[in-house]
Amino acid sequence: MEDYLNERKESKEKRRISLEKERAQKLRTVECAECGQPFETMQPNQLTCSTECSRQRSNRLKWQREEKRYNDTNVIDKDISVKVLYKRDKGICYICGGKCDFNDNYEINGYFTAGQTYPSIDHLIPIARGGMHAWDNVKLAHHHCNSMKSDILPSELGLDIVIDDAYAMARKVSPLKKEVKQLTREGKIINIYESTAEAERQTGVKNKGIQKCARGECPTYKGYVWQY
């Protein structure tokens, strides 16, 4: 009986060692398609490192499908994310040269609001002017700098042009766009966006509701006051 138990124990140990070797052979290190961090997996089609990254990627792709500016003709790289771009560009805003900060954000009435230095994706050739949503056409930028730059080309900025001047130039490029302010119920300005579409892109609040509030049809929308 004792010999039999020893044989079973040895057999289990051999099986364990065999499975570990097999696992080690299948294990591969890849970069998460959402956050860019390396992780190990045995699944050949696994793209993200965690359930949270998988959820964020799913929501981002859903937003891209719903975003009218993005479609099959201009989306080349679906896996562009702020976190991966932050890692690639070393956290530096290419417009002003300052450091981007993921902690620069806050919540009002349960809604996420990005601060001025929060990182964002900027298209060198804007989508509105025929640019592609591709890795070679995106750079990391502060939320504020991105908003100020609007839809102008880098060549139109020039080395001596400050962000506010660039914003003025954007008005000439897109004269139909109307600037909109986001305020608290108490009247404190949270941010200024170059259009209601940009406000929706940055805050997730629907631009139709923003427009109604800005036109005075309702006092607030989603907990904010909106003004042209």
- Please tell me the predicted confidence (pLDDT) of residue 180: 87
Q: What is the CATH number that goes with domain 176-228?
A: 1.10.10.10
Q: What is the CATH number that goes with domain 65-175?
A: 1.10.30
- Please tell me the predicted confidence (pLDDT) of residue 174: 45
- Please tell me the predicted confidence (pLDDT) of residue 69: 67
- Please tell me the predicted confidence (pLDDT) of residue 140: 92
What b/e sequence results for 152-188 when a residue is b if at least 16 CB atoms lie within 10 Å of its CB, and e otherwise?
Answer: beeeebeeeeebeebbebbeeebeebebbbbbeeeee
- Please tell me the predicted confidence (pLDDT) of residue 226: 92
Q: Give average pLDDT by consecutive 10-residue segment, the chain, 228 residues.
A: 70 76 76 83 82 85 72 76 90 90 84 87 81 85 84 57 44 57 87 81 84 89 90
- Please tell me the predicted confidence (pLDDT) of residue 163: 44
- Please tell me the predicted confidence (pLDDT) of residue 4: 64
Q: And the tokens for 125?
A: 């050739």
Model pTM score: 0.54
- Please tell me the predicted confidence (pLDDT) of residue 66: 72
- Please tell me the predicted confidence (pLDDT) of residue 119: 94
Range list for CATH 1.10.30 in the chain: 65-175
Range list for CATH 1.10.10.10 in the chain: 176-228
